[in-house]
Amino acid sequence: ERLPALLAAMPKAELHIHIEGSLEPELIFALARRNGVALPYAGVEDLRRAYAFTNLQSFLDIYYAGASVLLQSQDFYDMAWAYLERAAADQVRRAEIFFDPQTHTARGVAMETVIDGLSRACRDAKRIGVDAELILCFLRHLSEEEAFDTLEQALPFRDRFIGVGLDSSEVGHPPEKFARVFAKCRQQGLHLVAHAGEEGPPAYVWAALDVLKVERIDHGVQSAQDPALMKRLAQDRIPLTVCPLSNLKLCVFPDLAQHNIRQLLDAGLCATINSDDPAYFGGYMNANFLQTFAATGLDAQHAYRLARNSFEGSFAEASAKKRYV
């Protein structure tokens, strides 16, 4: 009884949340109505029934369909605001939020519309005690050239996002494909992160570190297969933004009790717990903490370590990190 209360009440940072993955079915249908967008689902219940995933790709197909209702700046604002209120309730003090501009610009939505709505919500979140920043993700199933185009469209708004990431279909799209784009982002002074080792092999984690020169690895749970990589991650304090309920729902682990978060923490890695796509995977931050602790037997010391790791791994300034706790 005391551990769940500690997990719920402790201040934390969320470092792995795709804002399009926070779009709840109710809001998808409300925005569809508002924008006159037709959906291939009869209603909220029908859509929720489709949330039975077998791997990453089976999720991505539905996730991109859900995002098709986002057209106006206010739609992006409303989506981000709903997430930020949920985050505040879970004692998230700092949120570094991924967005997928290519999902929207491919439908004719302007980059400015996307960034304007999201960044206004992040600015307003200070009022509810959340320090929120944006990280632009390139879709790795698309080409290097499309990533360069996306970066060019976003650079006029350089002051409204703090970094770039790499997401979508992992296997078959290794980090090396984006070496030159990430080099350019690095020259711009942007923070760098990448999804690696969610379904893909340890080699993708090595490449994210050594070729893309990322500062954090998103997921990274497959690193446990490679002892030399585990040593590197521990020695360099490379944060892993682990997402237990996501891993469960996408069948990366057969059940939560077999999740390797405890192994990662006990090996001295800067592992963190995050929600990934909470509207699709059945839980926001505190649900991820509560269910993972219940299933794996993590204790209060692990809880403090996860909270500390989340602030250590964040891109907030040192002075701000002290205020969060």
Q: Which residues are catalytic?
A: 198
Partner touching 216 among Zn ion, ligand HPA, none, CB below 5 to 8 Å by kind: none
274-293: contacts with ligand HPA (CB under 6 A): 276-277
- CB within 8 A of 62, min separation 6: which ones? 50, 51, 53, 280
Task: Give the containing element (helix H, strand E) for 167.
Answer: strand 163-167
113 contributes a contact to ligand HPA by CB under 6 A? no
Q: Nearest distance from residue 135's CB to ligand HPA, in Å?
A: 12
81 touches, from Zn ion, ligand HPA, none (C-beta below 5 to 8 Å by class): none
Contact call for residue 167 and ligand HPA (CB under 6 A) = yes
Binding-site members for substrate are 277
3-state secondary structure of 218: strand
Nearer to ligand HPA, 59 or 77 (CB): 59
Sole window of 224-232, 248-256, 273-281, 287-295 interacting with Zn ion (rule: CB under 5 A): 273-281
Given Zn ion, ligand HPA, none, residue 168, with its beta carbon under 5 to 8 Å by kind, binds: ligand HPA
Q: How far is the CB of 5 from Zn ion (least distance, A)?
A: 28
Residue closer to ligand HPA by CB (options 113, 246) is: 246
The closest residue (CB) to ligand HPA is: 167
Integer Cα distance of 257 and 278 in angstroms? 20
Name the residue nearer to ligand HPA (CB basis): 171 or 325. 171
**Using rule CB under 6 A, residue 195 touches ligand HPA:** yes
Helix axes 73-89, 25-35, angle to 10 degrees: 160
Comparing CB distances to ligand HPA, the nearer of 8 and 62 is: 62
Q: Which two tokens stand for residue 246?
A: 């996501």
Out of 97, 111, 276, 280, the residue judged to bind Zn ion by CB under 5 A: 276
Residue 272 lies near ligand HPA (rule: CB under 6 A): no
Q: Which residues belong to the annotated binding site?
A: 16, 18, 195, 276-277
Indicate which single residue of 13, 14, 15, 18 sits in contact with ligand HPA (rule: CB under 6 A): 18
CB of 94 to ligand HPA, least distance (A): 20
User: What gap in Å lies between CA 198 and CA 209, rounded to an integer?
Assistant: 15
Structure tokens, 187: 């020259």
Is 116 near ligand HPA (CB under 6 A)?
no
DSSP letter, residue 71: -
Half-sphere exposure of 309 (CA within 13 A, CB side): 26
List residues forming the annotated binding site for Zn(2+). 16, 18, 195, 276
From the list ligand HPA, Zn ion, none, partner contacted by residue 56 (C-beta under 5 to 8 A by kind): ligand HPA
Put the strands of the sheet holding 271-273 in their side by side order.
12-18, 92-99, 131-139, 163-167, 191-196, 216-219, 240-242, 271-273
Number of CB atoms found within 10 A of residue 235's CB: 10
Q: Which residues, in sequence order, are CB contacts of 131 under 8 Å at separation 6+?
A: 93, 94, 95, 125, 316, 320, 324
Look up residue 187 and give its amino acid. Q
Site for ligand HPA in 32-91 (CB under 6 A): 56, 63
**Lookup: tokens for 129:** 């005690």
Answer with the entry of ligand HPA, Zn ion, none that 94 interacts with (C-beta below 5 to 8 A by kind).
none
Q: Both tokens of residue 33?
A: 């109505």
Give the Cα separation of 95 and 245 in Å (integer). 18
Contact residues for Zn ion, defined by CB under 5 A: 276
Contact residues for ligand HPA, defined by CB under 6 A: 18, 21, 56, 63, 167-168, 195, 198, 246, 276-277
